[in-house]
Structure 1
Amino acid sequence: MKVRKLIKQHLQTRPRAEARDVYKQLYQGVFGVGHIISEKAWSILVEEAGRIDLTDHAEDPLLEPVSPDREMVRVNLRQYLNQDGDLETLYTVIQKSAEHKGDEDTFLAYWSEFRRMAAENEHDIPLADIEEIDDRIEEEGIVPMHHTESYREAYYPAYRVVLKNILIEYIDLCE
């Protein structure tokens, strides 16, 4: 899967996504989740799993690719828990996946492709919004960002990003 196809697929399934939401997807696809693993990661996972409404967003798939090679995926917690997924097992997968180190040049190539898509009118996200993030990258470097408020309100995202090959080692997906 090429990065353009990945972005188009994301924007089709999440039409309220903004530039920052695409940035987040591309960031996760390249760098994974090593940036969020802390001493509190387990308690945050348990708290979120207990808080989410398992009937919301029932149409979401169990896994959503966030990288063009489909190796880095979002595991949607609602679907995972609805399939009797074990949080301790998922947490082990998260920890092992967090060892993955991404490449800034790869991220910048993907981000440039997203910018080109805007210039070529392949999506509705304003180029000015992308350029704002370009300025932020220039000032702060490539850093993790949160979803936009409109994305959170529309999709109430509840997922964890993992490497699919590690997930498969621990969990029978039966996709």
Structure 2
Amino acid sequence: MMQIKLGCYRVGNIWKSQQDIFNFLVSHFRFYHQMEIQDVYKLFYQGVFGSAHIMRSSISEFEEDLLEEFDQVKENSAQPLWESIHPEGKIMRIHLAAYKSKKKDIDQLSTLCIWTAEIAEKEVGSVENLSAAMDTFYRLCKSRKIPKYNPLEVDGYHKWLIDNKYPPVHHSEIYHQKYDPHYRLVHREFLPILF
């Protein structure tokens, strides 16, 4: 079922709502013009699963990787501290360069990332939501509401995802070159603890 709004209530699956997914993607295209199909998928993946994939490795490995990346990243106070990666704003990317410029506690961020992963692991229907998001993205491309992407390429990528059981992916090479992404995912409810 797609999502509909009844007054201030939402009914259905937001990942099936063309209007919500369109608005969500446009908000990201404004800052990330060079996003490729795999970057859109990564955005959906993170919005659906949060940071659940970090629980596949050990927590100590996650913490070591975060500390190492945080040490290497340069402060950037001009960068936004966070951005939403979920159509309803449930999951946020915390940008490490901006976070570092605020002299914030990296251990606290690490803990909140782990809590976010634990919450995401308990979510039901995540693969179905990811499939719905990719389906909605395909329909938006096919109808030319999002003309940037070839619908046949989107469909081909979606088939690859199905064959590979919707794996986590890295950002595209162009995304890395253009935007140098360094961030971690945190549930929106934890923002008051961080800031």
Normalised TM-score (structure 2): 0.81
Structure 1 residue 22, shift from structure 2 partner: 0.4
**Structure with greater contact order relative to length (CA < 8 Å, sep ≥ 6):** 1
Equivalent positions of 1:1-175 (< 5 A) are 2-37=20-55, 38-39=57-58, 40-55=61-76, 59-99=78-118, 100-101=120-121, 102=123, 103-123=126-146, 124-168=148-192, 170-172=193-195
Contact 2:94–2:184, Cα closer than 8 Å, also in 1 = yes
1:138–1:85 Cα change, 3 Å: same
Equivalent position amino acid for 1:83 in 2 = K
1:87–1:10 Cα change, 3 Å: same
- Show CA shifts across 1:101-135 (max 9, x none): 34122222221111111112223022233123112
Contact 2:78–2:98, Cα closer than 8 Å, also in 1 = no
Contact 2:134–2:158, Cα closer than 8 Å, also in 1 = no
Percentage of pairs with the same residue: 26
Contact 1:96–1:166, Cα closer than 8 Å, also in 2 = no
CA distance, structure 1, for counterparts of residue 102 and residue 139 of structure 2: 39
User: Larger radius of gyration, structure 1 or 2?
Assistant: 2
Contact 1:7–1:114, Cα closer than 8 Å, also in 2 = no
Contact 2:85–2:93, Cα closer than 8 Å, also in 1 = yes
CA distance, structure 1, for counterparts of residue 87 and residue 177 of structure 2: 26
CA distance, structure 1, for counterparts of residue 79 and residue 135 of structure 2: 28
Q: Secondary structure at the match of 2:171?
A: coil
Equivalent position amino acid for 1:7 in 2 = L
Instruction: Compute the RMSD of aligned alpha carbons.
Output: 1.6
Aligned residues: 169
Q: Secondary structure at the match of 1:125?
A: coil
Structure 1 residue 138, shift from structure 2 partner: 2.4
CA distance, structure 1, for counterparts of residue 141 and residue 168 of structure 2: 22
Listed as ranges, the gaps of 5+ residues in structure 1 are: none
Equivalent position amino acid for 1:163 in 2 = H
Equivalent position amino acid for 1:156 in 2 = D
Contact 1:115–1:130, Cα closer than 8 Å, also in 2 = yes
Equivalent position amino acid for 2:187 in 1 = L
